[in-house]
DNA sequence: CGTATTAGCTAATACGTATCAGCAAAGGAC
DNA sequence: GTCCTTTGCTGATACGTATTAGCTAATACG
């Protein structure tokens, strides 16, 4: 059978089955509850099968006013955590016949991404950690939006237990006897990070431990950022005995610098990350961290988004944040 | 200004500018060499600007027979190397107004991905490491395809110097005095990996070093795979003094296992990876590896693909493979 | 001045699908 | 038998754009 030059259309199927194009569309198109005689339906299906018909999703989208595409924007796709979020979105979206267009804001600003996605007529957007509040006000109009780990004020969202994550890290370190505790996190005003930070410090204060401002290091949430931050922490005359990093990349960088400086981990310094990306188990020693269900977070965001596309009025019953879990590994030990 | 319910079309712009829809299309659409009076063009452009017109890419694609979308398939998006390839494709594609739909074959088989991408009417495909040769024969018909690191027999492709990469690793280890050399790589028949392997062993033989079959460990090219492979290598009574891993994930896993087993690296065991992903610099000690320009590889694939979309007859002058480079870090040292 | 040429624009159509109004036939109620 | 309802299908149209044929007016040329 020669490969078709032009792809098979509903017209081709109609001719083959001896019915009208409209009937083919009724059988193969959206509405499964369309009134078509069983015999006709069968005949159309067989013709479609025989010709190898595949619906042209662009044409379908044009008439339905849908592109069946979703945009997902994250700060950094090379961070496995965000990649997992995207993967979660992708899986759910794929099942519903949607495709996802991922983008990150490392090199291209969010506003420009949104411009391009809008030109693509994406039906919806998932935004994670891109500071939706600080976007130009009309950048998101006319599109359904779901936020991840942001305050769900103007748009609905899903959340992980960021506050809880910070608290777990703090309690773990406190439980090991640490009182001299530092925090490494980003300066950027991303709500999820802010919550992790707040949870951490709240737990410290609850335990009567007053944080020191010189032990709060702000740096881009990357490996390089973690290295820099740890370098300045180690340079000070007075060193913390435990550090909570706002994500695992920071922790990996911090660990690297500490080991290179000859520090014993966890002997002289305990380290807790956040996210539990695969990297955490590759480091030596393995990283103690707080596991965030990234994939499930993305999946849940996608489900909410798809739901709202069908019914824009759908207001999610305010969901519990996804549960987080402390994973104790090799970078934390009793205070000396 | 109220946000528009329905998006602005060429008809709206035409009405606003007092011209026909066709004229608007001539001004704003593809052909820049269309004959339109300067004054009219100016007026249309101003109207478009004023109304905030954005072309509907779906509609444009429908009539032009293009979707302005490219599919990219790789084995594993969580491998930063492949992610970089995708990023390279994405950057070039974005500049040309194309969007890319990435997919990996960890959970969904390539054939199913291709099915979905085809339904999306993607204009072209970039395939890296998915074994294009073993796909159903018609899975790629009717679509422009460019392969990465595959033999460019049925489809054009771009390549990195995989053979050279293996050779560089071998010569580095040989130069340090190692003669007891092992290889860890995937069993799957992916051409790029095969070439790295071949380059390695060819250099060994050229140096008069005969490889031992029990030191060739086959395992999935992941961190976990590297750990397993190294475990079996260490379990044997006779240990190699140097190991070349077909990628950095394998090397990371191998390093982890070696360190956990109490081996001194590089004192008792030298380790060379391949790819030079960011992970390589986070490990302690830092990983010696062969740098492959992943991003440029993807970018070049995208350029070739776009070129062929404009001119399907375009046969690339057979390009030199992209240069690779040995990066000596901390996991290799002189043989004991 | 008459004719050929060109510039500048528009009407009409097509891309492949979904959907709606409407038609013919068949059934159902009496 | 008439009248009403339902079933099963089709013709026509629309989605937003690109493109081509063709029209008008202006210009060029002899």
- The pLDDT tens digits for A56-72 are 999 999 999 899 999 99
Q: Is the CB of A281 under 7 A from strand C?
A: no
Cα B318 to Cα B152: distance, rounded to the nearest angstrom: 9
With pLDDT > 70 as the criterion, what percentage of chain A qualifies? 97
Better-scored residue on pLDDT, A163 or A315? A163
CATH of the domain at B38: 1.10.260.40
Q: Do both A141 and A197 map to the same domain? A: no
User: How much is the pLDDT for B257?
Assistant: 97
State the 10-residue block means of pLDDT for chain B, 336 residues long. 63 94 89 81 94 91 92 96 97 94 92 88 94 78 89 88 97 97 94 96 96 95 97 92 98 97 95 97 96 98 94 80 97 92
Q: What tokens were used for A164?
A: 């809880």
Q: Do both B255 and B171 map to the same domain? A: yes
> Rounded to the nearest 10 degrees, what angle do helices B80-95 and B294-310 cross at?
40
B279 to chain A: closest CA residue: A279
In a domain, B234, yes or no: yes
Residue closest to A273 by CA, chosen among A242, A296, A240: A242
Contact B185, B245 (CB under 8 A): yes
Contact B74, B129 (CB under 8 A): yes
User: How much is the pLDDT for A310?
Assistant: 86
10 Å CB burial of residue A31 (0-12, 13-18, 19+) is: exposed
Q: Is the CB of A224 under 7 A from strand C?
A: no
- Please report where in the chains the tokens 């006709």 appear, as a residue: A40
Cα B89 to Cα A75: distance, rounded to the nearest angstrom: 19
Q: What tokens were used for B66?
A: 């293009």
Better-scored residue on pLDDT, B279 or A236? B279
CA distances from B240 to B165, B179, B330 (A): 20, 8, 18
* Residue among B3, B56, B118 whose CB faces A138 most closely: B3
A199: left (phi over 0), alpha (psi -120 to 50) or beta: alpha
In a domain, A334, yes or no: no
Max Cα distance, chain B (Å):
87
- The pLDDT tens digits for A117-155 are 988 889 999 999 988 777 877 778 778 999 999 987 788
Residue closest to B175 by CA, chosen among B156, B203, B151, B196: B203
Q: Do both A145 and A173 map to the same domain? A: no
In a domain, B319, yes or no: no
Spatial neighbors of B81 by CB under 8 A, at least 6 apart, are: B247, B248, B275, B277, B292, B294
Say how many C-beta atoms besides its own lie within 10 A of residue B313's C-beta. Answer: 5
Contact A149, A95 (CB under 8 A): no
Per-residue pLDDT at A336 exceeds 80: no
Q: Do both B112 and B24 map to the same domain? A: no
Per-residue pLDDT at A1 exceeds 60: no
Q: What tokens were used for A82?
A: 């965000």
Cα B250 to Cα B196: distance, rounded to the nearest angstrom: 14
Cα A329 to Cα A163: distance, rounded to the nearest angstrom: 21
Domain region containing A50: 10-55
SS3 content of chain B, % helix, strand, coil (to 5): 45, 15, 40
Cis omega (within 30 of 0) on the bond before A285? yes
10 Å CB burial of residue A32 (0-12, 13-18, 19+) is: exposed
Spatial neighbors of A266 by CB under 8 A, at least 6 apart, are: A285, A330, A331, A332, A333
User: How much is the pLDDT for B33?
Assistant: 67
List the B43 CA – C3 C1' distance (angstroms). Answer: 34
Q: How many residues does chain B have?
A: 336
Domains of chain B: total: 3
Element (H, E) at A280: none
Cis omega (within 30 of 0) on the bond before A266? yes
Residue closest to B120 by CA, chosen among A11, A118, A60: A60
User: How much is the pLDDT for A68?
Assistant: 93
- Chain C: nucleotides under 7 Å from a protein CB? 7-12, 14-20
For residue B116, list chain A residues with Cβ-Cβ distance below 8 A: 94, 99
- Chain D: nucleotides under 7 Å from a protein CB? 7-12, 14-20
Q: What tokens were used for B299?
A: 């970018």
- Please report where in the chains the tokens 């959340």 appear, as a residue: A159
User: How much is the pLDDT for A84?
Assistant: 97
Instruction: Give the residues across from A147 on adjacent strands.
Output: A127, A157
- Please report where in the chains the tokens 């001896």 appear, as a residue: A18
Q: Do both B286 and B302 map to the same domain? A: no
Residue closest to B282 by CA, chosen among B313, B237, B251, B304: B251
User: How much is the pLDDT for A298?
Assistant: 98
To the nearest whole Å, the CA of B9 is away from the closest chain A CA by 12
User: How much is the pLDDT for B1?
Assistant: 35
Q: Do both B89 and B141 map to the same domain? A: yes
In a domain, B124, yes or no: yes
Q: Which residue is nearest to nucleotide C12 (CA to C1')?
A: B22
Cα B68 to Cα B30: distance, rounded to the nearest angstrom: 13
Cα B150 to Cα B160: distance, rounded to the nearest angstrom: 10
Q: Do both A174 and A120 map to the same domain? A: no
Q: What tokens were used for A180?
A: 């001299």
Q: Phi and psi for A221 in degrees, rounded to 5?
A: -80, 60
Compute the half-sphere exposure of residue B316: CA atoms within 13 Å on the CB side of its CA. Answer: 23
Contact B184, B230 (CB under 8 A): yes
- List the alpha helices (DSSP H) in chain A: 10-17, 21-28, 38-51, 57-64, 80-95, 110-119, 162-175, 191-206, 223-235, 248-260, 294-310
Residue closest to A78 by CA, chosen among A195, A230, A297, A248: A248
User: How much is the pLDDT for B30?
Assistant: 65
Taking any CB pair shorter than 8 Å as contact, residues of chain A touching chain B are: 3-5, 7, 54-59, 61-62, 67, 77-78, 80, 83-84, 87, 94, 99, 101-102, 108, 116, 118-121, 138, 141-142, 223, 252-253, 255-256, 259-260, 278-279, 281-284
Q: What tokens were used for B294?
A: 């992943």
Q: Do both A74 and A195 map to the same domain? A: no
* A38-47, A246-255, B102-111, range with greatest mean pLDDT: A246-255
Q: Do both B177 and B188 map to the same domain? A: yes
Q: Do both A33 and A75 map to the same domain? A: no
Contact A168, A324 (CB under 8 A): yes
In a domain, B335, yes or no: no
Cα B68 to Cα B62: distance, rounded to the nearest angstrom: 10
Cα A24 to Cα A44: distance, rounded to the nearest angstrom: 6
In a domain, B1, yes or no: no
In a domain, A324, yes or no: no
Q: Do both A27 and A112 map to the same domain? A: no
CATH of the domain at B125: 3.40.50.2300
Per-residue pLDDT at A23 exceeds 80: yes
Residue closest to A276 by CA, chosen among A134, A140, A168, A147: A168
B259 to chain A: closest CA residue: A284
List the B37 CA – D30 C1' distance (angstroms). Answer: 29
A146: left (phi over 0), alpha (psi -120 to 50) or beta: beta
Residue closest to A65 by CA, chosen among B94, B225, B9: B9
Cα A213 to Cα A216: distance, rounded to the nearest angstrom: 5
Q: Do both B47 and B33 map to the same domain? A: yes
Spatial neighbors of B39 by CB under 8 A, at least 6 apart, are: none
Cα A18 to Cα B317: distance, rounded to the nearest angstrom: 49
Centroid of chain to Cα A93 = 14
* Average pLDDT of the residues of chain A: 92
In a domain, A215, yes or no: yes
A116 confidence band (pLDDT: 50, 70, 90): confident
For residue A252, list chain B residues with Cβ-Cβ distance below 8 A: 282
Cα A145 to Cα A159: distance, rounded to the nearest angstrom: 14
Contact B230, B249 (CB under 8 A): no
């Amino acid at each position: 059978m020669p490969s078709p030059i032009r792809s098979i259309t509903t017209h081709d199927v109609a001719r083959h089955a001896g019915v009208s194009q409209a009937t083919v569309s009724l059988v193969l198109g959206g509405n499964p509850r369309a009134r078509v005689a069983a015999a006709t339906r069968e005949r159309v299906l067989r013709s479609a099968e025989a010709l190898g018909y595949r619906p042209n999703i662009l044409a379908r989208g044009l008439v339905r006013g849908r592109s069946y595409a979703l945009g997902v924007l994250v700060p950094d796709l090379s961070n496995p955590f965000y990649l997992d979020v995207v993967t979660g979105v992708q899986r759910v979206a794929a099942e519903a016949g949607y495709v996802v267009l991922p983008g990150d804001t490392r090199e291209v600003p969010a506003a420009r991404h949104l411009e391009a996605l809008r030109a693509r007529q994406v039906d919806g957007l998932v935004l994670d950690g891109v500071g939706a509040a600080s976007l130009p006000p009309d950048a998101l109009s006319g599109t359904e939006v779901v936020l991840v780990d942001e305050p769900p004020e103007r748009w609905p969202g899903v959340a992980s237990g960021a506050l809880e994550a910070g608290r777990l890290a703090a309690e773990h370190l406190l439980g090991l006897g640490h009182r001299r505790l530092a925090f490494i996190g980003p300066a950027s005003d991303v709500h999820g990070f802010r919550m992790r930070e707040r949870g951490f410090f709240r737990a410290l204060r609850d335990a009567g431990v007053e944080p020191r401002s010189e032990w709060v290091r702000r740096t881009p949430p990357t490996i390089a950022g973690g290295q820099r931050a740890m370098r300045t922490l180690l340079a000070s005359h007075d060193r913390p005995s435990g550090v909570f990093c706002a994500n695992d990349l920071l922790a990996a960088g911090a660990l690297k610098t500490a080991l290179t400086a000859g520090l014993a981990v966890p002997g002289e310094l305990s380290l807790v990350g956040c996210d539990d990306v695969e990297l955490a188990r590759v480091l030596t020693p393995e990283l103690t961290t707080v596991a965030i269900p990234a994939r499930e977070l993305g999946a849940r965001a996608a489900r909410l988004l798809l739901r709202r596309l069908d019914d824009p009025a759908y207001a999610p019953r305010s969901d519990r944040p996804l549960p987080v879990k402390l994973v104790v590994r090799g970078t934390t030990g009793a205070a000396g």
